[in-house]
Structure formats: C-alpha cells, structure tokens
Amino acid sequence: MPLSGPQKTVAQTVGVVVLMGGLAWASVPFYDWFCRVTGFGGTTGVAETAPEDILDRTVTVRFDASKAKDMAWEFKPVEREMEVRIGETGLAFYEAYNPTDRPIAGQASYNVAPYSAGGYFQKIACFCFEEQVLEPGERVQMPVTFFVDPEMVDDLEAKYVHTITLSYTFYEIDLPEGYAALETQADTNTN
C-alpha cells in the first residue's frame, strides 16, 4: 500500500534524521582516521621502525606540555628541544608527577606544528598510546621515540620546515575498572 502525503513526509523526515545522525556519529572516527593518514591538523603518524635513509639536513624538535584545567598532575618535557637529522631516530622524555593523595589516571592527546609537518613526524613508541596511572606522590619519566620522515623534503609545503613542535596535553580520565575495584577494596579493609 503506497504512503499518503502526510505519511510520506513523515517517513522522509525520519529518514533524513536517521541519515544525519549516522553521518554525525561517523564523522568523528572518519575525521580522526583522515588526520592520522594525512597528518592534517597536526596529527602525527605511527611507524614500526625508522627509515634506513638518514639525511644530512637537520630539524629542531621542540617539546611542549600542558594539562587540562582539572588535571592535578605536574607535567613537563625533560628537554625543551633537540636537533635531529631527518630520518634519524630521536628519543625524548616527558615527566609527570602526581602531588595528590589519590591515584590519578591520565591520557595524553598530541599535536604537531606546523601542520604541514604533521604527516612526516612519525612516532615509533609513545606514552600517549596508553592511559597512565600515577600513585600519590609518584613521579615518572615517559618516553617518546620518533623520527622525521625523509619524504618531508619532497613536499612543497613541508620542505622549508626547520622547526617542529610536538605538544602533549594530559587529561584526567576515570581509573581503569579493575584498578578502581582494588581502591574500593583497600578502602574497605582500612575501615
């Protein structure tokens, strides 16, 4: 039975709402994927190993650290900058300290500037790939292993980049489920 005028309009409206909701839901993972593949928006790449080709040209990598307004940790780079040859593996450390009397879980987001270098800044290993939990009073140094892809020198926009800034921002997140259960059990045992 064909739909009448008002029923057809309602069906079309519901269809548009469902389609728009689906597009909105898919936009965040799609944008994240697009940024990781292209380096758009300062998103870095992830690599298994560094390239064999190491160029004589160097680039200065600056390290920046910030934290969300409600994050109680202290967070800073151990070194503010280093000079690396393009293609060479670099190793930098960031330091985090939990000055509170409670465990805190955190997750880091990252960005690279200028944006044109984002796709060429490759991380091999990074503390930002996992959530971090610091006990009260705990201080840790967290490594990031990286390289600048030699293909950057062939990119019309990126080949003139001489300084790259790697920025991390730490956000407080919920403690892992098993960890929270241990904390509750410990609180019960002390009372």
pLDDT for 22 beyond 90: no
pLDDT at 42: 44
Cross-sheet strand order for the sheet of 163-173: 81-85, 58-67, 163-173, 104-113, 132-134
Give SS3 for 17. Answer: helix
- In tens, the pLDDT along 29-88 reads 444 444 444 444 445 577 677 788 899 999 999 999 999 999 999 999 999 999 999 999
C-alpha 1/C-alpha 8 separation (Å) is 12
Q: What is the mean pLDDT of residues 158-183?
A: 86
pLDDT for 6 beyond 90: no
The pairing of strands 74-77 and 90-97 is: antiparallel
Token output for 95: 């330091």
Q: By percentage, how much of the chain surpasses pLDDT 90?
A: 58
Q: How confident is the model at residue 11 (pLDDT cuts 50, 70, 90)?
A: low
C-alpha 84/C-alpha 143 separation (Å) is 16
Superfamily of domain 58-175 in the CATH hierarchy: Ctag/Cox11 (2.60.370.10)
Backbone φ and ψ for 69, nearest 5 degrees, come out as -55, -40
Q: What is the mean pLDDT of residues 129-148?
A: 95
Point out which residues pair with 164 in neighbouring strands.
61
Q: What is the mean pLDDT of the chain?
A: 82
Are 183 and 103 spatial neighbours (Cβ–Cβ below 8 Å)? yes
Residue owning tokens 């190491």: 54
Chain centroid, CA 137 distance in Å = 25
C-alpha 29/C-alpha 46 separation (Å) is 17
Residue owning tokens 């298994």: 48
* Higher-scoring residue by pLDDT: 12, 172: 172
Amino acid making up residue 103 = P
pLDDT at 38: 43
> Cβ neighbours of residue 130 under 8 Å, at least 6 residues apart?
none
Cross-sheet strand order for the sheet of 45-46: 45-46, 121-126, 139-148, 90-97, 74-77
Q: How many Cα atoms sit within 13 Å of 92 on the Cβ side?
A: 28
pLDDT at 49: 73
pLDDT for 187 beyond 70: no
C-alpha 79/C-alpha 68 separation (Å) is 21
Q: How confident is the model at residue 143 (pLDDT cuts 50, 70, 90)?
A: very high
Q: How confident is the model at residue 4 (pLDDT cuts 50, 70, 90)?
A: confident
pLDDT for 26 beyond 70: no
pLDDT at 7: 75
- In tens, the pLDDT along 75-107 reads 999 999 999 999 999 999 999 999 999 999 999
pLDDT at 13: 75
